Protein backbone atom coordinates (compact mmCIF):
# COMPACT_ATOMS: atom_id res chain seq x y z
CA UNK A 1 0.00 0.00 0.00
CA UNK A 2 3.00 2.34 0.14
CA UNK A 3 2.59 3.25 -3.51
CA UNK A 4 -0.99 4.29 -2.92
CA UNK A 5 0.13 6.77 -0.28
CA UNK A 6 2.40 8.59 -2.72
CA UNK A 7 1.85 12.25 -3.63
CA UNK A 8 1.38 11.22 -7.28
CA UNK A 9 -2.19 10.08 -6.59
CA UNK A 10 -4.62 11.88 -8.89
CA UNK A 11 -7.74 13.36 -7.25
CA UNK A 12 -10.76 11.35 -8.35
CA UNK A 13 -8.60 8.71 -10.02
CA UNK A 14 -8.89 4.94 -9.86
CA UNK A 15 -5.97 4.64 -7.43
CA UNK A 16 -7.66 7.09 -5.07
CA UNK A 17 -10.79 4.92 -5.08
CA UNK A 18 -8.67 1.83 -4.46
CA UNK A 19 -7.09 3.57 -1.49
CA UNK A 20 -10.55 4.50 -0.13
CA UNK A 21 -11.65 0.85 -0.38
CA UNK A 22 -8.83 -0.10 2.06
CA UNK A 23 -7.94 -3.40 0.35
CA UNK A 24 -5.58 -4.57 3.10
CA UNK A 25 -8.52 -4.77 5.53
CA UNK A 26 -10.76 -6.88 3.27
CA UNK A 27 -9.53 -10.06 4.93
CA UNK A 28 -12.32 -9.28 7.40
CA UNK A 29 -14.77 -10.32 4.65
CA UNK A 30 -12.75 -13.12 3.06
CA UNK A 31 -12.00 -15.14 6.20
CA UNK A 32 -15.56 -15.65 7.50
CA UNK A 33 -16.92 -16.65 4.10
CA UNK A 34 -14.11 -19.18 3.68
CA UNK A 35 -14.75 -20.64 7.12
CA UNK A 36 -18.55 -20.73 6.73
CA UNK A 37 -18.15 -22.50 3.40
CA UNK A 38 -15.69 -24.96 4.92
CA UNK A 39 -18.21 -25.84 7.65
CA UNK A 40 -20.82 -26.45 4.95
CA UNK A 41 -18.31 -28.64 3.10
CA UNK A 42 -17.60 -30.59 6.30
CA UNK A 43 -21.32 -31.32 6.45
CA UNK A 44 -21.39 -32.32 2.76
CA UNK A 45 -23.55 -29.38 1.68
CA UNK A 46 -21.21 -26.71 0.23
CA UNK A 47 -22.60 -24.81 -2.77
CA UNK A 48 -20.34 -22.63 -4.88
CA UNK A 49 -22.77 -20.00 -6.17
CA UNK A 50 -24.30 -19.05 -2.78
CA UNK A 51 -20.78 -18.97 -1.31
CA UNK A 52 -19.56 -16.59 -4.02
CA UNK A 53 -22.68 -14.46 -3.63
CA UNK A 54 -22.07 -14.25 0.12
CA UNK A 55 -18.48 -13.17 -0.54
CA UNK A 56 -19.58 -10.52 -3.02
CA UNK A 57 -22.19 -9.09 -0.64
CA UNK A 58 -19.75 -9.09 2.28
CA UNK A 59 -17.05 -7.30 0.28
CA UNK A 60 -19.50 -4.70 -1.01
CA UNK A 61 -20.81 -3.95 2.48
CA UNK A 62 -17.27 -3.60 3.84
CA UNK A 63 -16.13 -1.41 0.95
CA UNK A 64 -19.25 0.74 1.28
CA UNK A 65 -18.57 1.06 5.01
CA UNK A 66 -14.98 2.09 4.28
CA UNK A 67 -16.16 4.76 1.84
CA UNK A 68 -18.66 6.08 4.38
CA UNK A 69 -16.06 6.10 7.17
CA UNK A 70 -13.64 8.06 4.99
CA UNK A 71 -16.25 10.75 4.41
CA UNK A 72 -17.80 10.91 7.88
CA UNK A 73 -14.54 10.77 9.85
CA UNK A 74 -13.24 13.72 7.83
CA UNK A 75 -16.43 15.72 8.29
CA UNK A 76 -16.49 15.04 12.04
CA UNK A 77 -12.86 16.02 12.52
CA UNK A 78 -11.41 12.60 13.31
CA UNK A 79 -9.19 12.59 10.18
CA UNK A 80 -6.84 15.57 10.30
CA UNK A 81 -3.27 16.37 9.31
CA UNK A 82 -2.21 14.98 12.71
CA UNK A 83 -3.51 11.52 11.89
CA UNK A 84 -0.77 8.84 11.81
CA UNK A 85 -2.63 6.12 9.93
CA UNK A 86 -2.69 5.40 6.19
CA UNK A 87 -3.76 8.24 3.93
CA UNK A 88 -7.50 8.95 3.88
CA UNK A 89 -8.87 10.27 0.62
CA UNK A 90 -11.28 12.91 1.92
CA UNK A 91 -8.72 14.33 4.33
CA UNK A 92 -6.10 14.39 1.55
CA UNK A 93 -8.45 16.09 -0.94
CA UNK A 94 -8.37 13.10 -3.31
CA UNK A 95 -12.11 12.38 -3.13
CA UNK A 96 -14.92 14.60 -1.93
CA UNK A 97 -17.10 13.50 0.99
CA UNK A 98 -20.16 13.71 -1.24
CA UNK A 99 -18.58 11.42 -3.84
CA UNK A 100 -17.60 8.96 -1.12
CA UNK A 101 -21.13 8.95 0.34
CA UNK A 102 -22.60 8.34 -3.11
CA UNK A 103 -20.17 5.48 -3.71
CA UNK A 104 -21.01 4.02 -0.30
CA UNK A 105 -24.71 4.02 -1.11
CA UNK A 106 -23.99 2.43 -4.51
CA UNK A 107 -21.97 -0.33 -2.85
CA UNK A 108 -24.74 -0.91 -0.31
CA UNK A 109 -27.35 -1.04 -3.09
CA UNK A 110 -25.29 -3.60 -5.03
CA UNK A 111 -24.93 -5.68 -1.85
CA UNK A 112 -28.71 -5.50 -1.36
CA UNK A 113 -29.32 -6.80 -4.88
CA UNK A 114 -27.07 -9.78 -4.23
CA UNK A 115 -28.85 -10.11 -0.91
CA UNK A 116 -32.14 -10.81 -2.67
CA UNK A 117 -30.61 -13.99 -4.06
CA UNK A 118 -29.12 -14.86 -0.68
CA UNK A 119 -32.51 -14.43 1.00
CA UNK A 120 -33.97 -16.83 -1.55
CA UNK A 121 -31.27 -19.32 -0.54
CA UNK A 122 -31.33 -18.81 3.23
CA UNK A 123 -34.73 -17.40 4.11
CA UNK A 124 -35.79 -14.57 6.40
CA UNK A 125 -32.84 -14.81 8.85
CA UNK A 126 -30.55 -13.75 6.01
CA UNK A 127 -32.83 -10.79 5.27
CA UNK A 128 -32.57 -9.67 8.89
CA UNK A 129 -28.79 -10.04 8.99
CA UNK A 130 -28.41 -8.26 5.66
CA UNK A 131 -30.56 -5.29 6.64
CA UNK A 132 -28.81 -4.94 9.98
CA UNK A 133 -25.45 -5.15 8.23
CA UNK A 134 -26.35 -2.35 5.83
CA UNK A 135 -27.61 -0.17 8.66
CA UNK A 136 -24.53 -0.85 10.76
CA UNK A 137 -22.24 -0.06 7.82
CA UNK A 138 -23.76 3.40 7.48
CA UNK A 139 -24.30 4.09 11.18
CA UNK A 140 -20.78 3.06 12.15
CA UNK A 141 -19.56 6.63 11.64
CA UNK A 142 -22.61 8.30 10.06
CA UNK A 143 -26.08 9.37 11.04
CA UNK A 144 -27.22 11.22 14.16
CA UNK A 145 -25.74 8.63 16.56
CA UNK A 146 -22.54 7.23 14.97
CA UNK A 147 -21.93 3.95 16.76
CA UNK A 148 -18.17 3.93 16.36
CA UNK A 149 -17.99 7.26 18.20
CA UNK A 150 -19.69 5.67 21.20
CA UNK A 151 -17.40 2.70 21.68
CA UNK A 152 -19.76 0.25 19.96
CA UNK A 153 -17.56 -0.49 16.95
CA UNK A 154 -15.89 -3.53 18.50
CA UNK A 155 -19.04 -5.56 19.27
CA UNK A 156 -20.44 -4.67 15.86
CA UNK A 157 -17.32 -5.94 14.13
CA UNK A 158 -17.36 -9.15 16.18
CA UNK A 159 -20.97 -9.81 15.24
CA UNK A 160 -20.99 -8.81 11.58
CA UNK A 161 -17.51 -9.99 10.58
CA UNK A 162 -17.59 -13.03 12.84
CA UNK A 163 -20.81 -14.60 14.08
CA UNK A 164 -23.24 -13.37 11.44
CA UNK A 165 -20.80 -13.69 8.53
CA UNK A 166 -19.76 -17.29 9.24
CA UNK A 167 -23.22 -18.43 10.29
CA UNK A 168 -24.90 -16.63 7.37
CA UNK A 169 -22.47 -18.07 4.81
CA UNK A 170 -23.21 -21.53 6.17
CA UNK A 171 -26.96 -20.88 6.23
CA UNK A 172 -27.28 -19.88 2.55
CA UNK A 173 -25.62 -23.17 1.56
CA UNK A 174 -27.29 -25.60 3.95
CA UNK A 175 -30.48 -24.00 5.38
CA UNK A 176 -29.73 -25.82 8.62
CA UNK A 177 -28.44 -24.93 12.09
CA UNK A 178 -24.83 -25.69 12.98
CA UNK A 179 -23.08 -25.57 16.32
CA UNK A 180 -19.79 -25.95 14.47
CA UNK A 181 -20.46 -22.79 12.44
CA UNK A 182 -21.16 -20.82 15.62
CA UNK A 183 -17.99 -22.06 17.33
CA UNK A 184 -15.90 -21.42 14.22
CA UNK A 185 -17.26 -17.87 14.04
CA UNK A 186 -15.81 -16.91 17.42
CA UNK A 187 -12.07 -16.82 16.57
CA UNK A 188 -12.80 -15.20 13.21
CA UNK A 189 -14.82 -12.49 14.93
CA UNK A 190 -12.13 -11.96 17.57
CA UNK A 191 -9.46 -11.48 14.91
CA UNK A 192 -11.68 -9.01 13.02
CA UNK A 193 -12.12 -7.15 16.30
CA UNK A 194 -8.35 -7.21 16.80
CA UNK A 195 -8.03 -5.31 13.52
CA UNK A 196 -10.19 -2.47 14.77
CA UNK A 197 -8.54 -2.64 18.19
CA UNK A 198 -5.05 -1.93 16.83
CA UNK A 199 -6.46 0.67 14.43
CA UNK A 200 -8.10 2.53 17.32
CA UNK A 201 -5.01 2.22 19.50
CA UNK A 202 -2.99 3.92 16.78
CA UNK A 203 -5.56 6.72 16.46
CA UNK A 204 -6.19 7.14 20.17
CA UNK A 205 -4.94 10.73 20.44
CA UNK A 206 -6.68 12.13 17.35
CA UNK A 207 -9.87 10.23 18.20
CA UNK A 208 -9.83 11.68 21.71
CA UNK A 209 -9.40 15.18 20.29
CA UNK A 210 -12.37 14.63 17.95
CA UNK A 211 -14.51 13.27 20.84
CA UNK A 212 -14.56 9.87 19.11
CA UNK A 213 -15.01 7.68 22.19
CA UNK A 214 -13.75 4.38 20.83
CA UNK A 215 -13.12 1.52 23.20
CA UNK A 216 -9.38 2.32 22.97
CA UNK A 217 -10.04 5.89 24.08
CA UNK A 218 -12.16 4.64 26.97
CA UNK A 219 -9.58 2.07 28.07
CA UNK A 220 -6.52 4.23 27.56
CA UNK A 221 -3.29 3.08 25.86
CA UNK A 222 -2.37 0.44 28.46
CA UNK A 223 -5.87 -0.97 28.62
CA UNK A 224 -6.17 -1.00 24.84
CA UNK A 225 -2.96 -3.02 24.58
CA UNK A 226 -4.20 -5.55 27.13
CA UNK A 227 -7.49 -5.74 25.25
CA UNK A 228 -5.65 -6.59 22.01
CA UNK A 229 -3.76 -9.34 23.86
CA UNK A 230 -7.02 -10.78 25.21
CA UNK A 231 -8.49 -10.87 21.71
CA UNK A 232 -5.52 -12.91 20.49
CA UNK A 233 -5.66 -15.23 23.51
CA UNK A 234 -9.40 -15.76 22.98
CA UNK A 235 -8.79 -16.61 19.34
CA UNK A 236 -6.58 -19.58 20.15
CA UNK A 237 -8.59 -20.54 23.24
CA UNK A 238 -11.54 -21.24 20.92
CA UNK A 239 -9.72 -24.06 19.12
CA UNK A 240 -10.62 -26.82 21.63
CA UNK A 241 -14.29 -26.19 20.86
CA UNK A 242 -13.56 -26.57 17.16
CA UNK A 243 -11.74 -29.85 17.84
CA UNK A 244 -14.61 -31.12 20.00
CA UNK A 245 -17.34 -30.45 17.41
CA UNK A 246 -15.72 -30.74 14.06
CA UNK A 247 -12.72 -31.97 12.15
CA UNK A 248 -10.23 -34.72 12.90
CA UNK A 249 -7.74 -33.85 15.63
CA UNK A 250 -4.93 -32.74 13.31
CA UNK A 251 -7.17 -30.47 11.26
CA UNK A 252 -8.62 -28.69 14.25
CA UNK A 253 -5.19 -27.55 15.40
CA UNK A 254 -3.86 -26.31 12.05
CA UNK A 255 -4.50 -22.63 12.97
CA UNK A 256 -1.90 -22.99 15.73
CA UNK A 257 0.69 -22.61 12.97
CA UNK A 258 -0.10 -18.89 13.04
CA UNK A 259 0.73 -18.53 16.75
CA UNK A 260 4.31 -17.26 16.12
CA UNK A 261 2.90 -14.41 14.03
CA UNK A 262 0.42 -13.59 16.80
CA UNK A 263 3.26 -13.48 19.32
CA UNK A 264 5.32 -11.11 17.11
CA UNK A 265 2.29 -8.87 16.67
CA UNK A 266 1.73 -8.69 20.42
CA UNK A 267 5.36 -7.72 20.95
CA UNK A 268 4.91 -4.86 18.47
CA UNK A 269 1.59 -3.66 19.86
CA UNK A 270 2.99 -3.75 23.39
CA UNK A 271 5.60 -1.07 22.62
CA UNK A 272 4.75 0.69 19.33
CA UNK A 273 2.79 3.92 19.09
CA UNK A 274 1.27 6.06 16.35
CA UNK A 275 2.41 5.36 12.80
CA UNK A 276 4.56 2.42 13.94
CA UNK A 277 1.31 0.52 14.58
CA UNK A 278 0.46 0.53 10.87
CA UNK A 279 2.70 -2.52 10.53
CA UNK A 280 0.80 -4.27 13.32
CA UNK A 281 -2.49 -3.46 11.59
CA UNK A 282 -1.30 -5.05 8.33
CA UNK A 283 0.11 -7.97 10.28
CA UNK A 284 -3.19 -8.54 12.08
CA UNK A 285 -4.93 -8.68 8.70
CA UNK A 286 -2.40 -11.31 7.58
CA UNK A 287 -2.96 -13.22 10.81
CA UNK A 288 -6.71 -13.28 10.23
CA UNK A 289 -6.28 -14.44 6.65
CA UNK A 290 -3.79 -17.15 7.59
CA UNK A 291 -5.77 -18.34 10.61
CA UNK A 292 -9.00 -18.43 8.57
CA UNK A 293 -7.37 -20.26 5.67
CA UNK A 294 -5.86 -22.90 7.95
CA UNK A 295 -9.13 -23.30 9.81
CA UNK A 296 -10.99 -23.76 6.51
CA UNK A 297 -8.47 -26.36 5.32
CA UNK A 298 -8.70 -28.20 8.65
CA UNK A 299 -12.49 -28.26 8.52
CA UNK A 300 -12.80 -29.80 5.06
CA UNK A 301 -12.83 -33.60 5.32
For the segment 22-47, what is each residue's pLDDT rounded down to a tens digit?
A: 998 898 899 999 999 999 998 889 99
Calpha distance 32→190 (Å, rounded):
11
**Considering the chain, what percentage of its residues have pLDDT values greater than 70?**
96
Q: What is the pLDDT of residue 3?
A: 42
For residues 167-174, average pLDDT: 95
Domains parsed from the chain with CATH numbers? 13-299 (1.10.600)
pLDDT band at 123 (very low <50, low <70, confident <90, very high): very high
State the pTM of this model: 0.90
- Write down the pLDDT at residue 275: 87
pLDDT the model gives residue 266: 95
| Closest CA relative to residue 18, chosen from 32, 7, 3 | 3
Residue pair 275/86 in contact (Cβ under 8 Å)? The answer is no
Spatial distance between the Cα atoms of 61 and 59, rounded to a whole number of angstroms: 5
Q: How confident is the model at residue 249 (pLDDT cuts 50, 70, 90)?
A: low
Q: What is the pLDDT of residues 136-158, one digit of tens each?
A: 988 888 878 888 888 898 999 99
**Closest to 199 measured CA to CA, from 272, 146, 136:** 272
pLDDT at 189 (0 to 100): 95
State residue 227's pLDDT score.
Answer: 97
CA-based nearest residue to 297, from 250, 260, 259: 250
Per-residue pLDDT at 115 exceeds 90: yes
Q: Is the dihedral of CA 187, 193, 199, 201 positive or negative?
A: negative
The confidence score (pLDDT) of residue 9 equals 77
Residue 2 has pLDDT above 50, yes or no: no
Report, as an integer, the average pLDDT of 212-219: 92
Q: What is the pLDDT of residue 129?
A: 94
Amino acid sequence: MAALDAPSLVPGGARAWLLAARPTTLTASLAPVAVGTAVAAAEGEARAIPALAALGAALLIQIGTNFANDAFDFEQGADTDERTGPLRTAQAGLLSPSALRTAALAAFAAAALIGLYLVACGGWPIAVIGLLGLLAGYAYTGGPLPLGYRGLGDPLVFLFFGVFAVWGTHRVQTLGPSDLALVASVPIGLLATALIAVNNLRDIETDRSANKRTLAVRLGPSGARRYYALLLIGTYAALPGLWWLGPPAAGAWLPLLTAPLAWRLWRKVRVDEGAALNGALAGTARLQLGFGALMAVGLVP
